[in-house]
Structure 1
Amino acid sequence: MTTTSHRMTAPFALARYREGDATRVALVVGDRIRPLSSDELGVASLNDFLAAPAWDRIAALAEAEAGSEWMALADVTLTAPVEPRQVLQTGANYRQHVIELVAAGLTNTTDRTVEEAREFAAKMMDDRAANGEPYFFIGLPACVVGDDVPLALPSYSDVHDWELELAVVIGREAFQVSREDALDHVAGYTICNDITTRDLVFRKDMKEIGTDWYRAKNAPGFLPTGPFLVPASFVEASDLNVRLELNGDVMQDASTSDLLFDIPALISGASQTMPLLPGDLLLTGSPAGNGQHWRRFLRDGDVMTGSIEGLGTQVVRCITAGAGA
């Protein structure tokens, strides 16, 4: 897979690329990329850098465009731009999406009209936003891959679904922070596609237990991430277009302005239980337009093109598990 489809509009961003068996942290400016040494980062690792990101130092390197270190972005193989120790995911967080789901359920199980059901659902969501709390669950960091890795669809199901999401990359450790201070703990943003196996979400053998997010969301490669880590100062995260195309057809097209709980609320809420560590990912939820809505799920040969305004584009190719890349 080439990187020619990766587009990023910020003055610079961080990335990681493959160099033989190793992975290098890198600086991206336009269509060029160069590796960053630990001396240039000022610390030993990417997560150490994100704990106290010295963006001024990186900006100076970005402005010094001359030098043999620079390569064409199309000539390298990008991988996931982060190495999180924790992945937190947010459920039911796009207002319009949840209203549609609730209204559909009500029209099927009650005598409400579509308009009455939508009005009822909208009031429910507004009350939840005012008085409720975000809904979190955890993912496995091992599922985080770049779009250089084909998505191998497990053979135990044929209802694997897409969920394109804005992901917050944590900077300074956040523990029991307020909403007012939450954005001080954001290093940047990236793109995640939270793949979900729909028929494994609810336990059939013990319905009382409820959802089984481990089995539904944590197969190998189920969190394609990247291609870039864009510094927070370059991103107006409260109003970004989120768009996913499947084989060229638009499936998801929404704005983060429709988030039920905004990013400060999510960071604050998630940090009340466990410290969020530098480099961790906090996914903000998926807008409408999943395969479950379209009654069309992922198949061998499908190509998902996911983009978030200003953060670039990831291209994920689906294969049957066990098939060669």
Structure 2
Amino acid sequence: MSVKPEPASALFAGPFALATLSAPDGPEFPALVTPDGQALDLRAAFGDGRLTTLDVLSDWETALPRLRALADATALARTAVADLRVHAPVTPRQVFQSGANYRQHVIDLHVAHRAPGDDRPEDERRAEAAEIMDRRAAEDLPYVFLGLPTAITGPYDDVTLPAWAAKPDWELELAVVIGRPAYQVSVEDALEYVAGYTIANDLTDRATVFRRDMPQIGTDWLRSKNAPGFTPLGPWIVPAESVTNTDDLRVTLRLNGETMQDESTKDMIFTVARMVAYVSQTARLLPGDLVLTGSPAGNGMHWGRLLRDGDVMEGTVTGLGTQRTRCVAEAS
């Protein structure tokens, strides 16, 4: 099952984007999509019947000018995206996730996750969290952990809420898609390794984030974030050249039509360039890899309203389109 997007005058910013599509009963294929909702099958355009979106990203320097030319080639046969199924735009080899990267979000979570026995007033705990954020920014230390590609699902697919997940929550994020191998790159050069951007909803079960049985170990990201389908991705990869300012994009999530998250990436503690550079100091980033940049304030823990069966989440990021997913409780 899937929830189709609402009609829009323009699906995304810029002249074209990358997508992974399929006919209702056919195989997935990489596609160039134009803002008016028309798709061009890149297997035929590139003369490779086995081409994938990851292949396109793996040769991004050569592919990008070809995609620009194809976007202008109006004589080529296209298919309406509305007649196709939209999948996650890429299947990455590596997923890097950022925690605690929006100042107000971290302060809200710090207050919501009250430690046992902590009876201090809320304003005192908020002040403590703000001080921690200022210190992290000064020390220039982002917090990054690994996600699983198997948690990724399509931008309009149903999301199964596992029976064991007592507090499933949403976390809409700007996601960076890598276009060149990157290892130990500088902040100044980091954006040169980015192919484009997409949308990710990094769902989290708040009940399993912390190991209560072994608090000295800390967080359990495997269980809390990596259930199948817990990372709706897409719908499109919009090339970096069409995203003019990643430091001022609006990240908005609506739950059943009600706005829950609505914040600018200005509230990020660490910029996109800083996140990419930081990850590359330890890991070798590969084409198609994702760097999720954190989620702004307005999560379910803040509102006291967590996900349940039948909820519909609609997530948008400026210029990147809209994803729309429905929550379905796992059968007992």
TM over 0.5: yes
CA pair 100-200 structure 1, distance change in 2 beyond 3 A? closer
Give me the whole-angstrom Cα distance separating, in 1, the residues matched to 2:177 and 2:47: 17
Aligned residues: 320
> 1:78 matched to which residue of 2?
86
Structural RMSD (CA) = 2.3
CA pair 5-164 structure 1, distance change in 2 beyond 3 A? farther
> 2:281 matched to which residue of 1?
272
Deviations for 1:2-56, whole angstroms, at most 9, x for unmatched residues?
Answer: 3445731221101011232410100111221121116528894432322342322
- 1:282 is the counterpart of 2:291: yes
Unaligned runs of 5+ in 2: none
> 1:209 matched to which residue of 2?
217
Give me the whole-angstrom Cα distance separating, in 1, the residues matched to 2:137 and 2:43: 44
Give me the whole-angstrom Cα distance separating, in 1, the residues matched to 2:127 and 2:311: 37
2:14 equivalent among 10, 17, 35: 10
Give me the whole-angstrom Cα distance separating, in 2, the residues matched to 1:140 and 1:63: 36
> 1:238 matched to which residue of 2?
247
> 1:34 matched to which residue of 2?
40
SS state at 1:313 partner: strand
SS state at 2:92 partner: coil
> 1:198 matched to which residue of 2?
206
| Deviation of 1:253 (Å) | 0.3
> 1:23 matched to which residue of 2?
28
| Deviation of 1:144 (Å) | 1.0
What is the identity percentage for the equivalent residue pairs of Structure 1 and Structure 2?
51
| Deviation of 1:75 (Å) | 1.2
Give me the whole-angstrom Cα distance separating, in 2, the residues matched to 1:101 and 1:140: 24
CA pair 273-241 structure 1, distance change in 2 beyond 3 A? same
> 2:153 matched to which residue of 1?
145
1:89 equivalent among 75, 79, 97: 97
What is the one-letter code of the residue matched to 1:153? L
Give me the whole-angstrom Cα distance separating, in 2, the residues matched to 1:38 and 1:316: 31
> 1:218 matched to which residue of 2?
226
What is the one-letter code of the residue matched to 2:292? L
TM-score by length of 1: 0.91
Which of 45-54 and 176-185 deviates more?
45-54
Unaligned runs of 5+ in 1: none
Runs of 4+ in 1 over 3 A off after TM superposition: 3-6, 41-45, 99-106, 108-113, 116-124
Give me the whole-angstrom Cα distance separating, in 1, the residues matched to 2:253 and 2:81: 23
